Each structure stands twice: as structure tokens, then as C-alpha cells.
């Protein structure tokens, strides 16, 4: 459904009733993340405190560009980044900045890494796995790196990068005289939720003197939980980390953090002096610590959302998402459906007994028939083959929904 209201402003402006009608039309065509069958993507239902904070943020209309335009909120962003760093185990020199999405955090991380390495050459390389997110391809294009500037290494059966292969590639690059801007590990790959071996990769990068960026857009939030932090151990050794609270915790979009082991690197990469603003008192201007200039106070909805959840709430969101995945995986018949191994709350699957061509047709028709039954899954192409993917970050999805979904999938194969 894509109902559209009239687009152009009317001559005299609409009254409240008219505006509500306009809004209703747009809302009728919206994706509904709170529906229990909304399992397609990393877009969970929003927390009420986060929604309220978003409204307040709009009302305050502060600008995170500069301290004088957002004195309290600049301080809040600074402190909340420090809290995240502390929870992850980064040193006191660490810090970060909020960004409007993980794509931007990844880009800023690589720009910062390049600046820190002094690797301005256009033949410089970024290494990652073949399952890393497409935002890295965008980043190397924006950075003007060569066509093979992003080098993707194969993953193992578990969907993880192999540290020895990274080490070999670093040696080969050195022999070719090509600088390496960064190795990017992924903590939670987009299709199957796999986590690269962070400790082994940190060892390799440390030995080679290469920047380690961890794209933990999906998996980083697990570091906030004492019970689940082992999933991402080694994260604290990254030079930079992308973490997206919007993807599982229910913080309204956009909510992403770029955290750095050494916060000063951000200033070196992005500060310009911002000559038309008063110099900051003791904190840096937000606009001097990243690529964005004018920014809304996205910190407000993140902070208030976390305050609403509390430690127990955070734990419950993470644990229940993993639990739903485990329940669903157990409900699937392994003779009919093959689940790709993964570490987090994301599950990609395809029928065990079908060719790639048959899977392409099955995934398309099954996605449609599931929609008609109130379930939305996504259909990524992975290794020349389509899969259906479910993400279990939706707390409205109950065990009986999961069993019903598994049954529909089995029926689609009979
Ligand atoms: C692993 C990973 N990194 C980065 C991103 C990009 O994040 P965003 O969509 O917030 O730009 C995604 C998005 O799905 C992702 O899965």
C-alpha cells in the first residue's frame, strides 16, 4: 500500500483536522514494526520513551553541531558515549560521537583510520569478509580508493573471517607496497548474524600495526549485558567500533554510535576550527568530531530509551531475541530446511533439497504467501542462492507465532 496525500502545500495552509487526515494517509502506508509477524529486518518496535524523546527533541530543536546551540545535549552525548565505552571496556582515552546510521559510522571510522595511518594513497586497501555490510563498499567509493580498494576475504562454514587469511593478505599487501587503511571485522553479519573472531583479528592487527574497525552495528549491544558479553569478547581491543542501538534495543531511528579507543583521532580527522561559532568551553563541538554538521539531538532518544529499559530491560531484550531464534530453529524440520549457522538473533535458511533455481522460485512465492498469512520475512541473496531470513528482535512475536511460521514453511515444501 502506498497511499499518498497531496504533496504541495495548500494556499492557506491546512487546519488541524486536515493535517490529521494527511498524516493518517501516510500512516496507512507505513511499515508496521510492532506487528508480531514483522520479522524481516533489523527494525524492531520503538520504545515509548524513545518516541517521547524524539518529540521533545523536535520541540527543543537544538543543534548538535556546536556547544552553544545545544549546551546540555552536547554534554549528554559526550557522557553517553563515555558510558558505552566504559561498558565495552575501552580505556579512559576513549570516546565517540553519534551518527545518523551505521553507514555513516563505518565511513567516519575508515576516514579516521586513514588519517591516523597517514595512508592517503589512493591504492590503499580496506580488508573485510565477503559477508561484511555493503556500507563498506560505499565508504571506499566515497574515499576515492581504487576499484579493488575493498578486498573481501572468504568466510568459513560458520560465516566468520579467518584471522590467518587476514594475516596472509596483509603480508601480500606489504609486499606489493599497498598500505592497509584498516581491517574491518563484523560482529553480527547482516544475513546470518555471524561474529568474526575478534580476539584473533585484534592480535593480527596489533602485530601488523593496522587499524582494527569492528562493525558491531548488530552485535555491539550484546556487550552491554553481563550474560552475553562473551559473544563479542575482544570488542574492547578495536580501534573503532560501530554500534547501532536502533537495530535491536528499540531506539527510534536513526541511532548509531562510532566509538574510538583514542577519541582524539576523531578531532584530527574532522575538525575545521568551525570559525563561525564560539570556541567550546570544555567539550568539543559535536560537529568537529564527525562528518555531519547540523545534527538533531539523537542522543535524547537513546539515553531515555536506555533509562526506560534499565539494566534488566536491556538484558531481557537481548536474551529474549536469542531465545526466539533458538525456539524457531528448534521448530524447523532439519530434513526440510537448512539453517545457516550464526551467532545472534538472525536466522537465514533455505530448503535442503532444492537447486539454486528452485530456491529462487520457492523463496519468492513463499515470501508472498507468508505475507498473506501475516508474516514478513526478507529474501537476501547469499552465495548465489536466495534464502529467507527472519530477525527475532520483535518482542510481540510469541512462541505460538514461531510455531505457526515454522508450520507454514514446512507446508510450502510439501
Ligand atoms: C552489519 C551492518 N553494518 C552496517 C549497517 C548499516 O547501518 P545503517 O542501515 O544504519 O546505515 C548494517 C545495516 O543493516 C549492518 O547490518
pLDDT value at 261 more than 90: yes
pLDDT category, 2, cuts 50, 70, 90?
Answer: confident
Whether the CB of 256 sits within 6 Å of ligand 1: yes
- Residue 344 Cα to ligand 1 middle (Å): 15
Q: Which of 42, 104, 133 to mutate to test the pocket of ligand 1 (most atoms within 8 A of CB)?
A: 133
DSSP class of residue 195 equals: B
- The 10s digit of each residue's pLDDT in 28-54 is 999 999 999 999 999 999 999 999 999
Q: How far is the CA of 252 from the centre of ligand 1 (A)?
A: 15
Over 210-226, what HEC string results? CCEEEEECCCHHHHHCC
How many whole angstroms separate alpha carbon 344 and alpha carbon 150? 25
Query: Does the pLDDT of residue 108 top 90, yes or no?
Result: yes
What mean pLDDT comes out for the span 79-93?
A: 98
At residue 174, the pLDDT reads 96
Residue whose CA is at the smallest distance from ligand 1 atom 16: 190
Cell digits for 280? Answer: 567550546
For residue 317, pLDDT over 90 is answered with: yes
Q: For atom 5 of ligand 1, which residue has the closest CA?
A: 102
Q: Which of the two residues, 11 and 3, has the higher pLDDT score?
A: 11
Ranges of beta strands (E only) in 346-405 are 346-351, 381-382, 385-386, 388-391
* Number of Cβ within a 10 Å radius of residue 320: 16
Asked whether residue 367 carries a pLDDT value surpassing 90, the answer given is yes
Q: How far apart are CA 289 and CA 95, in angstroms?
A: 10
Q: How far is the CA of 8 from the centre of ligand 1 (A)?
A: 33
Over residues 332-353, mean pLDDT: 97
Alpha-carbon radius of gyration of the chain: 22
pLDDT value for 3: 80
Pocket lining: 101 vs ligand 1, CB cutoff 6 Å:
yes
Better-predicted residue by pLDDT, 274 or 3: 274
Q: Ligand 1 test: best mutation among 135, 136, 241, 345, most atoms within 8 Å of CB?
A: 135
CA–CA dist 220, 60 (Å, integer): 30
Question: What sign for the dihedral angle of Cα 24, 30, 35, 37?
Answer: positive
Q: Please check the confidence at residue 120 and state whether its pLDDT lies above 90.
A: no
Checking if the pLDDT of 329 tops 80, the result is yes
Asked if residue 168 has pLDDT above 90, the reply is: yes
pLDDT band at 337 (very low <50, low <70, confident <90, very high): very high
Span 175-234, pLDDT tens digits:
999 999 999 999 999 999 999 999 999 999 999 999 999 999 999 999 999 999 999 999
Burial 50-84 (b: 16+ CB within 10 A, else e): bebbbeebeeeebbbbbbebbeebbebbbebbbeb
Mutate to test the pocket of ligand 1, among 44, 103, 344 (most ligand atoms within 8 A of CB): 103
pLDDT at 118: 86
Predicted TM-score (pTM) of the model is 0.97
Q: Which of 99, 102, 138 to mutate to test the pocket of ligand 1 (most atoms within 8 A of CB)?
A: 102
Task: Please state whether the peptide bond connecting residue 201 to the residue before it is cis, i.e. omega within 30 degrees of 0.
Answer: no
What domains sit in the chain, N to C, each tagged with a CATH number?
55-306 (3.40.640.10), 311-411 (3.90.1150.170)
Q: Cα(103) to centroid of ligand 1, in Å?
A: 6
Residue with cell 583510520: 113
The whole-chain average pLDDT of the chain stands at: 96
Task: Please tell me the predicted confidence (pLDDT) of residue 262.
Answer: 98
Amino acid at each position: 500500500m502506498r497511499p499518498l496525500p497531496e504533496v504541495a502545500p495548500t494556499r492557506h495552509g491546512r487546519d488541524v483536522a486536515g493535517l490529521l487526515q494527511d498524516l493518517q494517509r501516510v500512516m496507512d502506508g507505513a511499515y508496521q514494526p510492532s506487528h508480531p509477524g514483522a520479522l524481516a529486518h533489523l527494525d524492531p518496535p520503538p520504545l515509548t520513551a524513545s518516541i517521547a524523546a524524539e518529540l521533545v527533541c523536535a520541540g527543543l530543536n537544538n543543534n548538535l553541531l556546536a556547544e552553544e546551540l545545544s549546551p546540555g545535549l552536547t554534554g549528554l552525548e559526550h557522557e553517553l558515549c563515555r558510558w558505552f565505552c566504559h561498558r565495552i571496556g575501552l580505556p579512559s582515552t576513549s570516546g565517540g560521537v553519534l551518527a545518523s546510521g551505521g553507514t555513516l559510522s563505518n565511513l567516519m571510522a575508515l576516514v579516521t583510520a586513514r588519517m591516523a595511518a597517514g595512508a592517503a594513497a589512493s591504492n590503499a586497501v580496506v580488508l573485510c569478509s565477503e559477508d561484511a555490510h555493503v556500507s563498506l563498499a560505499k565508504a571506499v567509493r566515497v574515499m576515492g580508493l581504487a576499484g579493488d580498494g575493498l578486498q573481501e576475504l572468504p568466510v568459513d562454514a560458520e560465516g566468520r573471517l579467518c584471522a590467518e587469511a587476514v594475516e596472509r593478505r596483509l603480508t601480500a599487501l606489504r609486499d606489493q607496497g599497498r598500505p592497509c587503511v584498516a581491517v574491518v571485522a563484523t560482529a553480527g553479519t547482516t544475513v546470518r548474524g555471524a561474529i568474526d573472531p575478534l580476539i584473533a583479528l585484534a592480535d593480527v592487527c596489533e602485530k601488523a600495526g593496522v587499524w582494527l574497525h569492528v562493525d558491531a552495528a548488530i552485535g555491539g549491544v550484546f556487550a552491554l549485558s553481563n550474560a552475553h558479553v562473551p559473544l563479542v569478547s575482544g570488542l574492547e581491543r578495536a580501534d573503532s567500533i560501530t554500534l547501532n542501538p536502533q537495530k535491536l534495543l528499540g531506539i527510534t531511528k536513526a541511532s548509531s554510535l562510532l566509538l574510538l579507543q583514542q577519541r582524539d583521532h576523531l578531532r584530527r580527522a574532522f575538525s575545521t576550527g568551525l570559525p563561525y561559532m564560539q570556541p567550546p568551553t570544555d567539550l568539543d563541538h559535536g560537529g568537529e568530531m564527525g562528518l555531519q554538521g547540523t545534527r538533531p539531538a539523537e542522543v535524547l532518544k537513546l539515553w531515555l530509551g536506555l533509562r526506560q529499559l534499565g539494566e534488566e530491560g536491556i538484558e531481557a531484550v537481548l536474551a529474549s531475541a536469542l531465545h526466539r531464534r533458538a525456539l524457531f530453529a528448534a521448530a524447523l524440520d532439519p530434513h526440510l530446511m537448512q539453517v545457516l549457522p550464526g551467532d545472534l538473533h538472525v536466522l537465514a535458511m533455505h530448503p535442503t533439497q532444492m537447486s539454486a533455481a528452485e530456491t529462487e522460485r520457492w523463496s519468492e512465492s513463499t515470501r508472498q504467501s507468508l505475507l498473506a498469512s501475516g508474516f514478513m520475512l526478507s529474501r537476501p541473496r547469499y552465495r548465489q542462492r536466495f534464502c529467507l531470513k527472519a530477525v527475532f528482535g520483535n518482542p510481540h512475536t510469541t512462541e505460538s507465532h514461531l510455531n505457526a511460521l515454522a508450520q507454514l514453511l514446512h507446508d510450502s515444501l510439501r
